[in-house]
Chains A and B, each alone.
Chain A
Amino acid sequence: MTSHRLISNAQTGASAARPAPVATSGLVHWARQNLFDGIHNTIFTLLCCALLIATVPDLFRWAIWDAAWTSANGADACKATTGACWAIVQEKYRLMLFGTYPYEQHWRGALVVLILGVMSIVSGFRVFWTKWLLVAWCVAWVAIFVLQLGGVFGLVPTPTHLWGGLPLTLLIFFSTVIGGLPVAILLALGRQSNLPIIKALCIGFVEMVRGVPLVTVLFMAALIFPLFVPEAMTPDKFVRALIGMLMFFAAYAADIFRGGLQAIPRGQYEAAEALGLPYWQKTTRIILPQTLRIVLPALMNDIIRAFKNTTFIAIIGLFDILGATKSALEDPTWVSYGTEAYLFVIALYFVVCFSMSKYSASLERDLNKGNTR
């Protein structure tokens, strides 16, 4: 190449000055490549810039510069400014996070949240995926219910109708998932079963529940079910709401498991049968472990949705974070600062769901390592 050019230069007799090469690194090159690459991209970039200039300064002024941060003088600071009233979070956070739970007992709720948080984070690491994790969960679960219910070890009894806020949200969520997964697996197996009645019942249940809104399922479980059974046999509202959430979650997860079961090659079933394994051994030792690996990403999405769906229990009158926030806003002094209070709750949910979805993506990459080159 070089020699060729030298020759051609030599032939023309004079070496004309070539223009400096276009930079292939640095900020300018990056911007040229990614922002101003062609007329369309340039227009989009300018539009985006215009949008940012139009919104960001106002948003910054509202949310930070002009915002009232402290509720030392009640709502006075908020009335004095045109910015956001974050003081409402400082003023009402106990009510929003713990709802109707007795004020002096809030530490117990906080401890429950802490235990669940730590256990979830620990469970996220695959090194800890041993049978000891199961044992730890069992211990944690007992500790949580002792803390929440009270009545033993000198703790003041706090029955379920007093529960509220974040601990209630988390308890509903964890119970839904932990209780719902086995039900979902049974439903999915039932759907694959060659017993016609069991199969029909499972299909009927799953399709019925999936065809109607969660609100109606909850409504049935919480408000209509008590009409149908004698009062003495009616479980309390927390349990009824939980049953509704659990049924809904199980129906959706069952459909995911069904997909996983269908993806297992026929040969695996036949090999297990050829070895003479009875049904349950075949299922638990050969089929389910492989299914679990296939369905994990889809299942994580469903679990995230279950977490978002915990807000629905506010509709049937339980005081989860949404319900508790709603009741905190009944205070006439603070009623006009609902936007800020809801933004706080939204941010809370976002942090949890976003971490879960990022974790799920990394887990998927991990499990897929065998298939990537």
Chain B
Amino acid sequence: MTYSNAKTTGESLPRRKPPKMQGLSLNGFWNDQRFRNFAAQAIVIALVIGFFVYIFGNAQRALSDQGIKTGFGFLMDSAGFAIGESPIPFSASDTFLRAYGVGILNTLKVSFAAIVLASIIGVLLGVARLSRNVMLNRFASVYVEVFRNTPQLLQIVFWYMLAVQLPGPKQAFSLDGIAFLSNRGLAIPGPGEGSGFGFALIGLVIAAGLVVLLRRHLEKRLRQTGQKFNGLPLSIAIMVIVPAVIWTVFGTPSQIEIPALRGFNIRGGLQLSPEFLALFLGLSLYIAAFIAEIVRAGIASVNQGQIEAATAMGIKNSDVLWRVVLPQAMRVIVPPSTAQYVSLLKNSSLGVMIGYPELFNLNNTILTASGNTVEAIIIMMAIYLSLTTTIAVIMNWYNRSVQLKER
């Protein structure tokens, strides 16, 4: 390198030609980077469009050969099939549109219940894995390893297998005669038909809003004046009294039905089918193992010095947990939890294996009954995409509220 430099510096360098003008010249244009970029993209897009045109053309032809009307008009036709379990009344004469509604509600029902249970178990297990108590610690690790390292579908099928092998209604396991577990599912005390629990539910929502407002006010007061006020008893009181008052004002007779064996079956109360139970357990127990790992990693990620500093300042233990450790841990916990919740919702489609009428399963029925394959698939995909996006949006909003506030 130095040698060639020494050699060339003495002599006059040959003048280099000025760089070629960077216009599109026809001469050797295939070597031009811009042309190549353009050509590559043009080819790709032509291939993609060609593929879809070809495929939909074929489908169109095949469907018209079978005499199936295309378009979304079929949604208003009557479905002609019954659905095993449905949160809203559904009969064979109802429309396909309503069938989709049932599918969405069933998917949401099982997913929401499973998300709640998975979060509770996950947090408990995650904390247990950090415990110094060896037994508790080991117990949690074994749970996490077993549930994380076996396929979710197998777990669901296994729970279903267990659920249908339970004894019949007459020999059902019973808890003091108020809850029954049999091969027809789980029956627990619940609101009977037509009782006004809707009002209590509205009351609960209002109460939750009030509690949030109260918390905000107390937090603000704490920051401004340093005065502490334990809001917990008041919050609980609001949560109990407000729904109760609203409920009584509307004069609803309180009727919690207790299930009982009548004839060959257990009736009354809240009936949970074996399919629902198996899917619910399969979804929540599996995701709980992942949540546990996320929670453990999140809490472990908080710098030990933070805890030591808080303790040294004389902050009491519960405040160290709630005001120092958790706010920092949540930043690490929330983003991966979002992915797990989305995954749970998507995997509720595994209900098809055991016959729980969730969206995917019902879509198959709708698709067969109507023959409108393409439309049914588009609808199903659109629903799943919007459901998963909704969860992601809600969790991202929550994520922003726990992240570090930077200027």
Q: List 12 A-B contacts (CB under 8 A).
A: A44-B135, A197-B41, A213-B349, A213-B360, A219-B360, A230-B58, A308-B151, A315-B352, A322-B154, A339-B162, A350-B150, A357-B145
Q: Are A353 and B149 closer than 8 Å at their CB atoms?
A: yes
* Whole-angstrom CA separation of A6 from B373 in the bound complex: 95
User: Which 6 residue pairs are nearest across A and B when measured between Cβ atoms?
Assistant: A353-B149, A213-B346, A308-B151, A213-B349, A197-B41, A48-B135
B385 in contact (CB, < 8 A): yes
B-contact bits for A197-222, CB 8 A (1 contact / 0 none): 11001000000100111111001100
Known contacts A197-B45, A346-B150; A211/B40 CB under 8 A: no
Q: Are A314 and B149 closer than 8 Å at their CB atoms?
A: no
Known contacts A308-B151, A342-B161, A350-B150; A227/B59 CB under 8 A: yes
Closest beta carbon of chain A to B381's beta carbon, Å? 6
Q: Are A35 and B135 closer than 8 Å at their CB atoms?
A: yes
Q: A197-B44, A212-B385, A304-B149 are in contact. List 11 more A-B contacts (CB 8 A).
A: A34-B134, A41-B131, A208-B385, A212-B388, A213-B347, A219-B360, A227-B62, A322-B153, A339-B158, A339-B165, A346-B155
Contacts of A49 in B (CB 8 A): 135
Q: Are B158 and A350 closer than 8 Å at their CB atoms?
A: no
Closest beta carbon of chain A to B387's beta carbon, Å? 9
* Whole-angstrom CA separation of A227 from B376 in the bound complex: 14
Contacts of B45 in A (CB 8 A): 197, 201
A136 in contact (CB, < 8 A): no
* Whole-angstrom CA separation of A336 from B155 in the bound complex: 18
A105 in contact (CB, < 8 A): no
* Whole-angstrom CA separation of A214 from B45 in the bound complex: 26
A-contact bits for B249-281, CB 8 A (1 contact / 0 none): 000000000000000000000000000000000
* Whole-angstrom CA separation of A227 from B363 in the bound complex: 17
B394 in contact (CB, < 8 A): no
Contacts of A315 in B (CB 8 A): 153, 350, 352-353
Closest beta carbon of chain B to A223's beta carbon, Å? 9
* Whole-angstrom CA separation of A312 from B44 in the bound complex: 32
Q: Are A211 and B385 closer than 8 Å at their CB atoms?
A: yes
Residues of A within 8 A of B (CB): 34-35, 37, 41, 44-45, 48-49, 195-198, 201, 208, 211-216, 219-220, 224, 227-230, 304, 308-312, 314-315, 322, 326, 336, 338-339, 342-343, 345-346, 349-350, 353-354, 357
Q: Are B161 and A215 closer than 8 Å at their CB atoms?
A: no
Contacts of A229 in B (CB 8 A): 54-55, 58
Closest beta carbon of chain B to A360's beta carbon, Å? 11
* Whole-angstrom CA separation of A127 from B206 in the bound complex: 65
Q: Are B353 and A44 closer than 8 Å at their CB atoms?
A: no
Q: Which range contains the number of B residues in contact with the other chain?
A: 35 or more
Q: Are A211 and B133 closer than 8 Å at their CB atoms?
A: no
Contacts of B313 in A (CB 8 A): none
Closest beta carbon of chain B to A192's beta carbon, Å? 15
* Whole-angstrom CA separation of A97 from B107 in the bound complex: 33
* Whole-angstrom CA separation of A339 from B157 in the bound complex: 9
Contacts of B346 in A (CB 8 A): 212-214
* Whole-angstrom CA separation of A308 from B44 in the bound complex: 34
In the complex formed, the residue of B with least CB distance to A354 is: B149
Which of A35, A219, A342 is B157 in contact with, Cβ under 8 Å?
A342
Contacts of B153 in A (CB 8 A): 311-312, 314-315, 322
* Whole-angstrom CA separation of A198 from B148 in the bound complex: 36
Contacts of B41 in A (CB 8 A): 195-198
Contacts of A342 in B (CB 8 A): 154, 157-158, 161
Q: Are B59 and A228 closer than 8 Å at their CB atoms?
A: yes
Known contacts A227-B59, A314-B153; A339/B373 CB under 8 A: no
Which of A212, A326, A345, A354 is B381 in contact with, Cβ under 8 Å?
A212
Closest beta carbon of chain A to B95's beta carbon, Å? 23
Q: Are A213 and B150 closer than 8 Å at their CB atoms?
A: no
Contacts of A44 in B (CB 8 A): 131, 133, 135-136
Q: Are B133 and A34 closer than 8 Å at their CB atoms?
A: yes
In the complex formed, the residue of B with least CB distance to A30 is: B134
Q: Are A224 and B373 closer than 8 Å at their CB atoms?
A: yes
Which of B149, B349, B384 is A211 in contact with, Cβ under 8 Å?
B384
Q: Are B373 and A215 closer than 8 Å at their CB atoms?
A: no
In the complex formed, the residue of B with least CB distance to A229 is: B58
